[in-house]
Amino acid sequence: MAKIALKERDAAIQALRAGVVPRLGIRHVQVGRAREVEESVRDITRIAEGGSAVRFIIGDFGSGKTFFLNLARTVAAERKLVVMHADLSPDHRLHATGGQARTLCAELMRSLATRSKPDGGALASVIERFIGDVRKAAAASGCAVDDLIRTRLEIVRDGVSGFDFAEVVVRYWQGVDGGDEQLKASALRWLRAEYTLKTEARDALGVRTIVDDSGTYDHLKSVAALVRLAGYDGMFIVLDEMVNLYKLVNSQARNANYEHILRIVNDVLQGSAERIGFYFGGTPEFLLDTRRGLYSYEALRSRLAENSFARDGLVDLSGPVIRLQSLTPEELYVLLDKLRLLWASGDSDKLPVPDEALTAFLEHCSQKVGDAYFRTPRNTIRAFLDLLAVLEQNPGADWRLLLGRIEITQEAAMTSEASEVCPALPADGSEPLNHVDDEPMADFRL
């Protein structure tokens, strides 16, 4: 294996020990999920060829949802798709009336990334690439650039704020042509859904509408059209922590968000959406709970129902729902081996523990924690890296003696997650008294 850069190694280990998905070095610890990754690649290929895709990635906390979603985003960017991602939270929802949906759209727009700009903030690059193509076509045909921009964006005019969307792109071009940085910044601000007052947008850009809570999905579809016109193969959107919709106490708010999801699912399954994909990450409760989950909304329940023939070890990954399977002991062994090599910066001559330590670690945790240990690779990673950290800082320590201390951390983490996954309901079947705003927002989880 090639030597791993110290910056990449340290960033990956720091993130993994904290229980979050690293932005750097994710490829060094990818194991298993071969069939799931294959389906994801198939989805991305379908999007690039003019189709669309929607998936619900379902797994327990710590099972690898966020890791898988990040991997899918990386693959999509490599296949010349523009990617976006955001986490849902009490302040970020698909449907709202108090600005939460617009805020989610703004976060998605800020995260817009391409292969050349993987860290986000690529909206300006996409627009300038589109304008560059339009300028060449205008020079060849003798048309005005403004008119040609409006003509090419005619496909978005039927959507909410579609007319103003095209006009804002024209304003960006006028800012480029006239060297007006303020006009360019105002156009980007509108496209990123950052205006909260229509008067501000009208004064800055001469348009009458803004992207508000009611128009976020249509705005994303308009952006997807712009992305295609700029020469990219499509747009891939990842929304994680969907469990925050399950946690909403108000049933009307939940159903409004589920109706928004239904609209997306219908557009994709009926073929109305083109070159756009949605991946949603959530827990089994978010999907299966018939009182508060997606299955409480009958239209979604029928569309997302799993194949009744996929039982007794048989799986069907072709439907909208992908249930992440537990890693096998063999895959976990490979994972520990990769973590060990990552710790050594890719130098196989400087491995911190021998091969027998990996086997002993797996056997010990399996005996002490049980089957749950194999369902949560996040716990596996954290515990093993903590072990390596102690060994590095205490050269005289013996890894055999340290193994006896691991089960406390593992069991505590699992107990904590179990209470977070399924909050207690009152005995009379009513909604819990705590409000979603009182619950901690979930972070990135492996």
**Pick from 193, 164, 189, 188: which is nearest to 102 by CA?**
193
pLDDT in tens, 381-412: 888 898 999 999 998 888 888 876 654 344 44
Give tens-digit pLDDT for 192-209.
999 999 999 999 999 999
For the cut 50, the answer to whether the pLDDT of residue 424 exceeds it is no
Q: Which two tokens stand for residue 389?
A: 């950290």
Please say if the pLDDT value at position 429 is more than 60.
Answer: no
Element (H, E) at 153: none
CB count within 10 Å of CB 143 equals 14
Query: Which position has the higher pLDDT, 19 or 219?
Result: 219
Pairing of strands 321-323, 52-58: parallel
DSSP string, 233-300: S-EEEEEE-THHHHT-S-HHHHHHHHHHHHHHHHHHHTT-S-SEEEEEEE-HHHHH-TTTSGGGSHHH
Band of pLDDT at residue 417, cut at 50, 70 and 90: very low
Higher pLDDT, 50 or 415: 50
Least confidently predicted of 144-148, 239-243, 400-404, 418-422: 418-422
- Identify the pLDDT of residue 63: 76
Query: Which residue is it, tokens 């909604």?
Result: 431
pTM for the whole structure: 0.82
On the CB side of 134, CA atoms within 13 Å amount to 23
Mean pLDDT of the chain: 85
Q: Is the confidence at residue 431, as pLDDT, over 60?
A: no
Q: What is the band of 378 on the pLDDT scale with cuts at 50, 70, 90?
A: confident
The whole-angstrom separation of Cα 211 and Cα 218 is: 9
Give, to the nearest 10 degrees, the angle between helix 216-229 and helix 100-110. Answer: 20
Catalogue the E-assigned strands of 59-194.
82-87
Q: Is the pLDDT of residue 438 over 60?
A: no
> What is the signed CA dihedral for 57, 36, 72, 371, rounded to 10 degrees?
60
Tokens of 73: 């985003």
Domains annotated on the chain, with CATH = 33-81+233-323 (3.40.50), 123-215 (no CATH), 329-420 (no CATH)
The answer to whether residues 222 and 156 touch, using CB atoms and an 8 Å cutoff, is yes
- Give 324-358 pLDDT, tens digit per residue: 877 778 888 888 999 999 999 888 888 999 999 99
- What does the pLDDT look like over 5-34, one tens digit per residue? 888 888 889 988 888 888 777 778 878 778
Is residue 1 very low, low, confident or very high in pLDDT (cuts 50, 70, 90)? low
Q: What is the mean pLDDT of residues 271-279?
A: 92
Q: What is the Cα–Cα distance from 78 to 86, expressed in whole angstroms?
A: 19
What gap in Å lies between CA 104 and CA 236, rounded to an integer?
16
Per-residue pLDDT tens for 71-109? 899 999 999 999 999 999 989 999 999 999 999 999 999
Is the alpha carbon torsion for 374, 379, 383, 388 positive or negative?
positive
